[in-house]
Structure 1
Amino acid sequence: MKQNSIKAWLLASRPKTLTGAAIPVMTGCTLAYIYGFFNPIPAVLCFLFAFLMQIDANFINDLYDFLKGTDRADRLGPERACAQGWISPEAMKKGILVTTILASLTGVGLLWYGGWEMIPVGVLCILFAFLYTAGPYPLAYHGWGDVLVLIFFGFVPVGCTFYVMAHSWNLSVTFASLACGLLIDTLLMVNNFRDREQDAISGKRTLVVRFGARAGLIAYFLLGVIACWCCFYFLWIGKIYAVILPQLYLLLHILTTMKMARINRGKELNLILGETSRNMFLFALLLTIGLLL
């Protein structure tokens, strides 16, 4: 592959991960719609900001894992751009700068709808995208990844998407945010479960490294189950289909958990990564349909 080519940048952006950015924004838009606040322009801006921040975080993660020596030859996950030489570290730094600026400009557009209170939220999104793998205390290397997913793939995108349209917050937003955060954390748990041996060597103290593979498997299963249980709140607002339909996700989640336990280690766990992404999207789609019915 030609270094720093368009194809290299496309692969470095990890387009398959954009599902995790789209799901919480889609949920926030759906909640805004059922409460009568939906506005297409801020909705588009929220999707754009989420996608840009996801790509930005992917670039930062790619660069700093490479610089720290985490992406070694024994890596089991999808190939990384800097480690493979597809993109030079210098070019990746420029790419990070460009995506950060583009995300910031999109955030400025959201100020028109959400107000100046969106500024600290945007600043925190950018700050923690760096702190996740960069700096003297990279949060992902000290077991904080799951907490950050819950916040920045749950409460921030769902809540802020709703807020920029409704200028309010309610319990529906809280439970939907919690469901999305827990759901998307299953994706991180698969990565950490697969990479547990390599992470231990690299000094990356994820929850799976700290508590073992069995704990990681149980956590993966419980994250999906509790995400479904969060949907029972919607009975209180008369949205019975928003309770029933997401429970269909549990069947696929259980089957994927069983397959994950059977495979246990190795590159074959990347199949579980794909299935988890599929299951997440199905959950979000079922919840959206249930809320709209």
Structure 2
Amino acid sequence: MTQNPVIFIDGEAGTTGLEIRQRLVDLPVQLHTIDPAHRKDPAARKEAMLAAELVVLCLPDAASREAAEMMAEEGAGAPRLLDASSAFRTASDWVYGLPELTPGQTQKIASAQRVSNPGCYPTGAIALLRPLIDAGVLDAHYPVSINAVSGYSGGGRAMIEAHEQEGGPAFELYGLGLEHKHVPEIHLHAGLKRRPVFVPSVGHFPRGMIVSVPLHLDDLKGHVTTEDLHSALMAHYAGQDKIKVLPAEGSLSASALAGNDGMELRVHGSTHSRQAVLTARLDNLGKGASGAALQNIALMLGL
């Protein structure tokens, strides 16, 4: 009988690492762990990595780069890597882990030695924009602006504690210096030629996310309609089980997909004003983090 593949999660005590670990329990894999007292011991971590077929890095960016370099020194004996940080999402020698990005992306992930798990906000933005640019209905030079709201669970310990205490903030805009670390990722993988304006925010709810992109239809090539945008998304995601293109709605709740690994895309608009709003709704910890990681793990290990 073939032995189940061994996975080591470096950084399993964090939010994403814990969720991935919980989800892996029901899959045909073996989880390799180390004593919590040695989680920051480089020698112990290296030994644990080399004992695995696949290492999932759930670390801050600098620590992920250090771990990747450590494994690069092992040459052909190194395990495959799936990185959940933002350290390698624009790196040319890492495969971007959004299987639905292009028709051949699933195969690239399945055969890759190193895969970078997408960010939560970029997952929604890229899922909306890339198909429209590839289909020619949205020009890559269009001045894209992206607004997004997320649950507080993806913001780290300080943000979680601030929201879970009595009198926590109801709503916060952040990243107003317009240099959010997700911008290069969106810029590259959406296929944009012009840097997008990205304004993230956090609501007073634990999980869920909506990414929205407003468009002036008269500024697009040809007499593009909301139906054209919807059709382009439908064609791109036909047959996909994680991403669904649905009819427009009058309102959306950001937390509706909490605990779900899917994503919903919609095109809302006004025929009279010739304006549209693209929306992507997902769970920031699901398709935006650990759910995406599970999808990539399954592809990389052929599960």
TM-score above 0.5, yes or no: no
Q: Identify the structure with bigger relative contact order (alpha carbons < 8 Å, sequence gap 6+).
A: 1
TM-score, normalised relative to structure 2: 0.30
TM-score, normalised relative to structure 1: 0.30
More strand by share: 2
